[in-house]
Amino acid sequence: MTQIRLTPDEIHDLAHGILTRTGYGEAHARAIASFLTTCQMDDCGSHGLFRLFMCVETMRRGTIDGTAEPDIVTDDSAVVRADARGGISLLATQSGLPLLIERARRFGVAALAVNRCYHFSALWPEVEQLAREGLSALSMVPSHAWVAPAGGTRGALGTNPIAFAWPRGDTDPLVFDLATSAFARGEIELYRRAGKPLPEGVALDADGKPTTDPEAAMRGAMCTFGGHKGSALSLMVELLAGPLIGDMTSLESMAYAEGRPEAPYHGQIIVAFDPARLSGGRADAGQTSAEALFAEIAGQGARLPAERRYAARARNRERGYAEIAQSLYDDLKAL
């Protein structure tokens, strides 16, 4: 597969150009392009430039507002609301994060409820951002009802990722971002594009029977990871990132889209924890304990989450470019 090299500026400009030509306003185009650049520079291809197809489809055939200004609402509580007002989530989330940080430091724990947003993005960049402010953070989001509950036969749950970050001082934060489906939706799409069969246990066909065919999986349902435990956690994501914050479940989001090929429309929750407040004055000791645990895990030859991504970031920053497939580049230029 032929690869081409793009600098961060080239990635940003490519995305920004496509987005503004498609109808995204300047603030949204910058927030999205910046996000895609971050992902692409980490070799996180499934949430990089590839997602521009979805951004464009959403604008062309969705009910999205490309120039929506997020409405940030606070009161005297530990809850910050960012109403995306029908735009892509990223600008709303970025607008709410400074207030979430302030509330977490003031109250020890705080929550950002992002509402009424089109959502296509990975969650790790936002929790990493919070961890670089010294906070631990947890983020969850529903999607569309593509995932069957354990013991079920058809989609009822979203891919429902859980992202988490832990601050490590001057070291890169510990970060993970995992779909509670056995596969992320984007991964199945990549298998489909590559014509490869799925592993066993990942998907059901339209009759609720196990399948390894990505096309059949797209028409049927995905399975959760880890059997009934993964299914329970996926249900938790539905509730915390949906009804709790007054927003849609994956079932409702799918019904709302009425089959349009747009990014799912729903909410997102981010919870931030301040170790300085929660540790009872033992935040330094806590850091030492956490580092001892990380050292033990690494000492066994096991990988810490995000290690591979941080390695890609370091390499790409050092050489000044990321590589993307020529075919993807050509497809993007044709948008």
Residues between 204 and 233 with contacts to a copy of itself, criterion CB under 8 A: 225-233
Q: Are 55 and 19 in contact (CB under 8 A)?
A: yes
Candidates 240, 263, 270, 324; binder of a copy of itself (CB under 8 A) is 240
- # residues near a copy of itself by CB under 8 A: 77
Residues between 149 and 208 with contacts to a copy of itself, criterion CB under 8 A: 149-154, 156, 162, 164, 166, 174, 176, 178, 180
Residue 112 C-beta: closest distance to a copy of itself, Å? 10
Candidates 61, 199, 219, 239; binder of a copy of itself (CB under 8 A) is 239
Half-sphere exposure of 71 (CA within 13 A, CB side): 5
List the one residue out of 216, 158, 152, 205 whose CA is nearest residue 185. 158
Separation between Cα atoms, residue 246 and residue 36, nearest integer Å: 28
Instruction: Write the binding mask 45 to 84 for a copy of itself: x where contact by CB under 8 A, - elsewhere.
Output: ----------------------------x---xxx-x---
Of 88 and 145, the one with the shorter C-beta distance to a copy of itself is: 145
Is residue 47 part of the annotated active site? The answer reads: yes
Burial 304-332 (b: 16+ CB within 10 A, else e): bbbeebbebbeebeeeebbbbeeebbeeb
Is residue 252 part of the annotated active site? The answer reads: no
Of 34 and 277, the one with the shorter C-beta distance to a copy of itself is: 277
47-55, 145-153, 184-192, 319-327 -> range binding a copy of itself (CB under 8 A): 145-153
Separation between Cα atoms, residue 262 and residue 197, nearest integer Å: 25
Q: Is 335 in the site for a copy of itself (CB under 8 A)?
A: no
Residues whose CB is less than 8 angstroms from the CB of residue 45 and which lie 6 or more positions away in sequence, other chains included: 39, 190, 324
Candidates 193, 292, 308, 314; binder of a copy of itself (CB under 8 A) is 292
Is residue 133 part of the annotated active site? The answer reads: no
Of 147 and 217, the one with the shorter C-beta distance to a copy of itself is: 147
Instruction: Write the binding mask 3 to 42 for a copy of itself: x where contact by CB under 8 A, - elsewhere.
Output: ----------------------------------------
List residues with catalytic annotation.
46-47, 187
